[in-house]
């Protein structure tokens, strides 16, 4: 065992002291590759990255999704748990049954007590989970946010499914084209606090400022809380309030499936355009019956797989979360950590009746 590895096992207090001193001597800069990389000492890990460190065996990973009864989150987490087996680790999924801002806090506290090696979290709120996640990092438990980020200093790495800007802007571009750039539109989102949806909505609003959308008007952002029934009712409410609505963007797999179910059985079917983010398996029947023409998503299995390898790389000392560090995510190949600890999986796919049958998730 190298001294670096030994150092990582010291208590948080000792580490903080050692590294405060070492930082002054420029020996604890958080990366071996880039001297300008961010200091990760606030994340409780001021050790150097060792890109050649092998992945440790027997790592214990815990996935904490927004909520456990969300089919999308299930696909992500199961893929991440399966990936852990590839490198000799184990994974589990625990989490709340609703996506409320603070519903994940008690789970994090339990995972700390259980001394997991890494916690992977799709955060329901960027800040509500911060205190306990910082406690986890102090105890040398690595924290990876995936799908929905925390505030940046509450995790070491964020695995983003695709560029947030690309997701937000492209949904408006697709809907605009579908409705001839004219008419009232609404957004059916997840919860009011969801970091991912809120970021995408900001970019949607930015996109809508362009002159080509001057005849399109965003009339309402509704929140279905990633609960099927509430999302269904919110869709109904939108159409009652705005019977001349031309389009809905639902950037949540739960929301778009519920909205499609409502539309498919209503007089608005084929008249109100629904676009957004969905899973092919949940949306197939609505594409086939003409309720929905197209929607997008990334590969959720790959998101879980990449998150799992990032957690293992952190827990093995290959990376610390600093910009420029690289790690290999099994069969997906090499990834580089970008600004603010963000790693981007790739491009989203657009699904329609031509390609939907070639996907099974």
Contact footprint for ligand RAM (CB under 6 A)? 66, 70, 72, 122, 147-148, 190, 196, 226, 252-254, 277
Please say which residue, 48 or 66, places its beta carbon nearer to ligand RAM. Answer: 66
Shortest Å, Cβ 260 to ligand RAM: 14
The angle, 0 to 180 degrees and rounded to 10, between the axes of the packed helices 280-288 and 253-264 is 20
Please say which residue, 70 or 299, places its beta carbon nearer to ligand RAM. Answer: 70
Query: CA-CA distance, 159 to 345, in Å (whole number)?
Result: 7
Please say which residue, 89 or 255, places its beta carbon nearer to ligand RAM. Answer: 255
- Closest chain position to ligand RAM (CB): 72
Give, in order, the Cα–Cα distances in Å from 241 to each of 73, 185, 252, 311: 31, 12, 22, 46
Please say which residue, 8 or 66, places its beta carbon nearer to ligand RAM. Answer: 66
Give, in order, the Cα–Cα distances in Å from 199 to each of 141, 184, 334: 27, 21, 26
Give, in order, the Cα–Cα distances in Å from 227 to each of 73, 151, 320, 326: 13, 24, 36, 37
Q: Which residues contact 217 (CB under 8 A, 6 or more apart)?
A: 183, 184, 185
Please say which residue, 108 or 303, places its beta carbon nearer to ligand RAM. Answer: 303
Query: CA-CA distance, 231 to 237, in Å (whole number)?
Result: 10
Do 349 and 298 contact (CB within 8 A), yes or no?
yes
Shortest Å, Cβ 175 to ligand RAM: 16
Shortest Å, Cβ 70 to ligand RAM: 5
Angle at 130 between CA 127 and CA 132, to 5 degrees: 145
Please say which residue, 70 or 320, places its beta carbon nearer to ligand RAM. Answer: 70
Shortest Å, Cβ 184 to ligand RAM: 24
Closest CA to 191 of 150, 167, 226, 160: 226
Please say which residue, 8 or 169, places its beta carbon nearer to ligand RAM. Answer: 169
Shortest Å, Cβ 314 to ligand RAM: 22
Shortest Å, Cβ 71 to ligand RAM: 8
- Partners of 247 in beta bridges: 185, 273
Q: Return the DSSP state at 129.
A: T
Please say which residue, 7 or 154, places its beta carbon nearer to ligand RAM. Answer: 154
Shortest Å, Cβ 10 to ligand RAM: 36
Shortest Å, Cβ 315 to ligand RAM: 24
| Strand boundaries in the chain, DSSP class E | 60-64, 90-93, 118-121, 142-146, 157-160, 183-189, 216-223, 245-250, 273-276, 295-297, 326-328, 334-336, 342-344, 349-351
């Amino acid at each position: 065992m190298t001294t670096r590895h030994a150092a990582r096992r010291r208590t948080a207090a000792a580490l903080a002291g050692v590294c405060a001193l070492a930082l002054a001597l420029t020996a604890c800069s958080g990366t071996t590759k880039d001297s300008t990389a961010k200091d990760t000492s606030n994340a409780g890990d001021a050790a150097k990255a060792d890109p050649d460190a092998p992945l440790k065996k027997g790592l214990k990973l815990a996935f904490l999704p927004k909520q456990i009864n969300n089919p999308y989150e299930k696909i992500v987490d199961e893929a991440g748990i399966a990936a852990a087996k590839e490198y000799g680790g184990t994974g589990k999924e625990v989490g709340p049954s609703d996506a409320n801002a603070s519903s994940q806090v008690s789970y994090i506290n339990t995972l700390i007590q259980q001394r997991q090696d890494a916690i992977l979290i799709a955060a329901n709120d960027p800040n509500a989970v911060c205190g306990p996640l910082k406690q986890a990092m102090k105890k040398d438990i690595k924290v990876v946010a995936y799908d929905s980020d925390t505030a940046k200093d509450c995790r070491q790495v964020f695995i983003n499914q695709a560029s947030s800007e690309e997701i937000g802007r492209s949904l408006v571009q697709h809907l605009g084209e579908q409705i001839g750039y004219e008419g009232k539109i609404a957004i059916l989102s997840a919860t009011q606090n969801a970091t991912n949806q809120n970021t995408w909505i900001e970019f949607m609003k930015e996109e809508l400022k362009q002159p080509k959308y001057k005849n399109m008007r965003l009339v309402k952002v509704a929140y279905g809380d990633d609960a099927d029934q509430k999302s269904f009712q919110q869709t109904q409410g939108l159409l009652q309030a705005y019977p001349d609505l031309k389009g809905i963007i639902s950037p949540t797999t739960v929301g778009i499936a519920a909205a499609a179910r409502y539309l498919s059985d209503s007089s608005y079917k084929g008249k109100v355009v629904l676009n957004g983010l969905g899973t092919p398996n949940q949306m197939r029947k609505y594409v086939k019956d003409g309720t929905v023409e197209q929607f997008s998503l990334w590969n959720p299995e790959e998101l879980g797989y990449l998150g799992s390898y990032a957690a293992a790389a952190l827990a093995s000392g290959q990376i610390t979360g600093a910009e420029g560090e690289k790690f290999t995510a099994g069969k997906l190949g090499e990834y580089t950590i970008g600004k603010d600890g963000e790693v981007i999986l790739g491009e989203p796919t657009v699904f329609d009746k031509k390609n939907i049958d070639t996907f099974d998730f």
